[in-house]
């Protein structure tokens, strides 16, 4: 399961023989919503009350919105796909690198299809191109986790999930982003995130410590000497990105493409002291 904003998706990937060509096979991508129906409770009553207080509407408009059920909207989330990618078995056997590059492109294209489908529900996806591009990377990563057997898709539930529209108008996207951290990182890393507001990653001979803080500096430590190397400032294009979404993006880069951090990040003086496996509770990178 992977999230794109308030929507959760189950990714199915199948590799089967092509019915039309006995010498070819097909990879089939399919994204199913975890919950088929999302029930959104609108803020009509609160909005009507605020307009009445300001003198912009009559009290009759407030009375019309007292019925909670009247203020609920059911959104039915369709499947995305199936998207089929046909390939020759000889390509897979003789030109594995070429085949993997084609598979990567198809998975990336399908990931953007999933995010585009999610974005059609404007109530459920944060309106930010930078975040949507990041969501596509997360979906692509989930596709390969399913292919490798590291993630098992669950059946789609017909039980509706409820969301209060007031939530995502009052900063709760950060809570959704925090749940996304749970989906992406390892359990022990999520425990560190919950307890200390940061995540520590070991890659190669360096530790990367990422704070849950807007534009927070990434501490880099030498894994052998436990001495500080530097602090890296990595700023994304979207200035309104929730801090936990920053954690997810930096986590994926540090874990899979750490060279990108060194190429794009601005270096600052290293933090003082020696590396601690358990960071202090009042941890700060300022």
The pair of structure tokens assigned to 286 is 């300022």
Yes or no: say if 98 and 81 are a contact pair by the CB < 8 Å rule: no
pLDDT tens column, 181-223: 887 888 888 888 888 888 999 988 899 999 988 788 999 998 8
Look at 209 and 281; give whichever has higher pLDDT: 209
- How far is C-alpha 19 from the geometric centre of its chain's CA atoms? 35
Give dist(CA 139, CA 181) in Å, integer: 13
For the residues 3-9, what does the mean pLDDT come to?
A: 78
- Please report, for the chain, the start and end positions of each structural domain, with discontinuous segments joined by +: 2-39+74-169, 178-268
pLDDT tens column, 128-186: 555 666 678 788 888 988 988 888 888 998 888 777 655 544 445 666 677 778 878 88
Look at 200 and 60; give whichever has higher pLDDT: 200
């Amino acid at each position: 399961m992977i999230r794109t904003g308030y929507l959760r998706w189950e990714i199915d990937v199948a590799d089967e023989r092509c019915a039309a060509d006995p010498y070819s096979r097909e990879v089939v991508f399919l994204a199913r919503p975890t919950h088929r129906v999302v029930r959104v409770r609108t803020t009509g009553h609160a909005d009507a009350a605020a307009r009445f207080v300001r003198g912009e509407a009559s009290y009759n408009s407030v009375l019309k919105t007292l019925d909670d059920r009247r203020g609920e909207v059911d959104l039915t989330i369709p499947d995305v796909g199936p998207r089929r990618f046909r390939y020759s078995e000889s390509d897979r056997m003789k030109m594995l690198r070429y085949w993997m590059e084609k598979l990567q492109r198809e998975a990336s294209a399908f990931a953007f299809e999933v995010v585009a489908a999610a974005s059609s529900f404007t109530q459920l996806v944060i309106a930010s191109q930078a975040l949507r591009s990041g969501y596509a990377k997360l979906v692509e990563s989930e596709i390969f986790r399913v292919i490798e057997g590291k993630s098992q898709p669950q059946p789609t539930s017909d039980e509706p999930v409820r969301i209060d529209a007031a939530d995502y108008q009052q900063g709760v996207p950060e809570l959704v982003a925090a749940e996304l951290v749970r989906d992406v990182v390892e359990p022990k890393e999520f425990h560190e995130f919950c307890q200390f507001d940061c995540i520590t990653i070991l890659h190669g001979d360096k530790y990367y410590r990422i704070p849950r803080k807007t534009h927070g500096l990434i501490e880099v430590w030498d894994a052998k000497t436990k001495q500080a190397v530097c602090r890296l400032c990595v700023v994304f294009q979207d200035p309104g990105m929730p801090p936990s979404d920053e954690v997810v993006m930096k986590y994926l880069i540090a874990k899979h493409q750490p060279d990108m951090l060194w190429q794009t990040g601005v270096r600052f003086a290293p933090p003082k002291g020696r590396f601690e496996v358990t960071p202090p509770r009042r941890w700060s990178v300022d």
